[in-house]
Amino acid sequence: MFDGNFRATVDKATTPVGKSLHRIGVSPDVITGIGVVMAAACAVAIGTGQFLLAAVLLALTGVPDALDGAVAKAAGSSGPRGAYLDSVSDRLSDGLLFGGAAWYLAGTANPRMAMLPFALYLAASLVSYQRAKAESLGFDAKGGLMERAERFIALGVGLVFSAIFVQILWLMLVLTIITAITRFVKVWRQASAARPARLKKQTRQAETSIFTRRASRSPREPRTDWRGRTRRRASSRRR
């Protein structure tokens, strides 16, 4: 949701910063790596129950995530390699953050609650995979109530207001599942609409190919029957 509505605003704000970082020789890969390190530090803070420190580290984790793309554009190095690295680092950061939450909940009075962040990570991974797979097939799977930006904001609220941390996680899980269902339906409809069009195109191509072969055949070219034997002309049979 935020990715579609505020992406242009974020890009406009980060572009000058990205150019400045590129001028002083900062690599976008380095910025991506810093983001992963900050996510690991945030996970440790969550696991040890230092929620206010974790909230600060979470905010710092989002800064490299917003700047690496701007630096790559300023350097003219945007491409599949950087996009792949960014996607992998995002999944790793998510796993670290939810792992920290699971570690913390495992040490509470109800250790079974550690399964909540685990379920949330599975749902979030499904949402990310749906978008990646849909885009590889030429479909659009963007949008939803709980994308990565929303997960960062909601987790930050839960860390600041630690009394409702578990409730925030439950809310995130429900909204993430709804997002996964919404994306599945969206891509399913696109794929269902594209299939009849593809079949019609293949039929037209097949008909055109048959017509072309018939038109290119010489009038004197002998025809064969279903057994592959050359058929005699009617005039020769009446001799």
> Residue 206 — very low, low, confident or very high, per pLDDT cuts 50/70/90?
low
Please give the residue range of the domain that contains residue 124.
2-190
- Whether 86 is catalytic: no
Whether 1 has a pLDDT exceeding 90, the answer reads no
Domain count for the chain: 1
CA-nearest of 220, 218, 216 to 208 is: 216
Residue 13 is assigned to a structural domain of this protein: yes
> Residue 222 — very low, low, confident or very high, per pLDDT cuts 50/70/90?
low
Residue 233 is assigned to a structural domain of this protein: no
Residue 66 is assigned to a structural domain of this protein: yes
pTM of the model: 0.76
- Annotated catalytic residue within 65, 68, 90, 94: 90
Report d(CA 171, CA 154) in Å as an integer.
9
Q: Give the position of tokens 């609409």.
A: 193
Among 104-108, 145-149, 219-223, name the most confident range: 104-108
Q: Give the position of tokens 């919404």.
A: 182
Residue 8 is assigned to a structural domain of this protein: yes
Structure tokens at 162: 């630690």
> Residue 2 — very low, low, confident or very high, per pLDDT cuts 50/70/90?
low
Residue 239 is assigned to a structural domain of this protein: no
Residue 217: helix, strand or coil by DSSP?
coil
Residues 9-56 have pLDDT tens digits of: 776 778 888 888 888 888 888 899 999 999 999 999 999 999 999 999
Residues 159-169 have pLDDT tens digits of: 999 999 999 99
Between 175 and 29, residue with greater pLDDT: 175
Residue 19 sits in a domain of what CATH number? 1.20.120.1760
Residue 207 is assigned to a structural domain of this protein: no
Residue 96 is assigned to a structural domain of this protein: yes
For residues 206-214, give the mean pLDDT. Answer: 62
| Model pLDDT, residue 14 | 80
Whether 239 has a pLDDT exceeding 90, the answer reads no
Q: In Å, what is the CA distance from 206 to each residue of 173, 196, 200, 202, 224?
A: 49, 15, 10, 6, 22
For residues 136-162, give the mean pLDDT. Answer: 92
Residue 227 is assigned to a structural domain of this protein: no
